[in-house]
C-alpha cells in the first residue's frame, strides 16, 4: 500500500500548490497574497517581496507595503509596477500604498483564463503522480513482490484517488471563478 499512500501525498501537495496559486489571483479585494508573485531586485538578486517588507491591508481596497530597509523603497515600487498585476503603487518616502482598483469585466475574464491555466497545471501534477505510482505498481508485479490481483486493486485505488483530487481541483476552480466574476 506504500505506493498508493505516496501517490496520495503527492496529490495532496499538488492540490495545496493550486490553492496557493489561486490565492495570488485578484478578486477586487485587497489581500497580501496578491503580491506573493512580485519579485524585487534587491541585494544583487531577485527576491520575493514578502521577504523584504511587511504587507498590511488597512481596508479592502488598499495594501500597505512597509519595507524592512527604507533604501529599497524605489526597488519595491518598481517591482510592483513591473509585475503583471496591473497595480499602480504610490511611494510616500516611508511606505508604499498599493490601491486595488475594482475589476472591469474584461480583466475578470483574463483572470478566469489564468485560473483555468493554473488548474490545468494542477491536473498535470496529479497525472504525473499517478503515472509515477502506476509504474511502481507495475515494477512490484514484474518483480513478483505482489500478485496481479493486488496490483489491479492498487491501480483501482489510485484511479479513485486521482479522480477525487481532480474533482477537488475542479471545485476550487469553480469557487474561485465565481469569486472573481462576482461584482
* CATH number of the domain enclosing 63: 3.30.1360.40
Per-residue pLDDT, 114: 86
Residue 23's φ and ψ, nearest 5 degrees, are -65, -25
87, 133: one domain = no
Residue predicted with more confidence, 140 or 27: 140
pLDDT for 124 equals: 95
Q: How far apart, in whole angstroms, are the C-alpha atoms of residue 119 and residue 142? A: 35
Q: Any idea which residue has 477537488 for its cell? A: 168
**Domains identified in the chain, total number:** 2
pLDDT at 1 over 80: no
C-alpha 63/C-alpha 90 separation (Å) is: 11
Residue 150: pLDDT band by 50, 70, 90 thresholds?
very high
CATH number, position 168:
1.10.132.20
Residue 18 shares a structural domain with residue 39: no
Write down the pLDDT at residue 102.
76
Average the pLDDT over 58-62 and give the result. Answer: 85
Domain, as residue range, for 49: 32-99
Query: What pLDDT is recorded for position 111?
Result: 83
pLDDT tens digit string along 19-39?
Answer: 988 887 766 677 888 888 888
pLDDT (tens digit, 9 = 90+) per residue, 89-116? 988 888 999 888 777 888 788 888 889 9
Percent of the chain scored above 90 by pLDDT? 43
Angle 155-160-162 from CA coordinates, rounded to 5°: 90
Residues 48 and 13 in one domain: no
Mean pLDDT of the chain: 88
Asked whether residue 56 carries a pLDDT value surpassing 70, the answer given is yes
Q: Which pTM value belongs to this model?
A: 0.68
Amino acid at each position: 500500500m506504500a505506493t498508493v499512500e505516496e501517490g496520495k501525498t503527492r496529490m495532496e501537495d499538488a492540490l495545496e500548490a493550486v490553492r496557493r496559486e489561486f490565492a495570488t489571483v485578484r478578486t477586487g479585494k485587497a489581500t497580501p497574497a496578491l503580491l506573493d508573485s512580485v519579485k524585487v531586485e534587491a541585494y544583487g538578486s531577485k527576491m520575493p517581496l514578502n521577504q523584504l517588507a511587511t504587507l498590511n491591508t488597512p481596508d479592502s481596497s488598499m495594501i500597505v507595503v512597509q519595507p524592512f530597509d527604507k533604501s529599497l523603497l524605489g526597488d519595491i515600487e518598481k517591482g510592483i509596477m513591473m509585475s503583471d498585476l496591473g497595480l499602480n503603487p504610490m511611494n510616500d518616502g516611508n511606505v508604499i500604498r498599493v490601491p486595488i482598483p475594482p475589476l472591469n469585466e474584461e480583466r475578470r475574464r483574463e483572470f478566469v483564463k489564468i485560473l483555468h491555466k493554473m488548474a490545468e497545471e494542477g491536473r498535470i501534477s496529479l497525472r504525473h503522480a499517478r503515472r509515477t505510482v502506476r509504474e511502481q505498481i507495475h515494477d512490484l508485479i514484474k518483480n513478483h513482490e505482489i500478485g496481479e490481483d493486488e496490483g489491479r486493486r492498487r491501480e483501482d485505488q489510485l484511479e479513485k484517488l486521482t479522480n477525487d483530487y481532480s474533482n477537488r481541483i475542479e471545485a476550487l476552480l469553480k469557487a474561485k471563478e465565481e469569486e472573481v466574476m462576482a461584482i
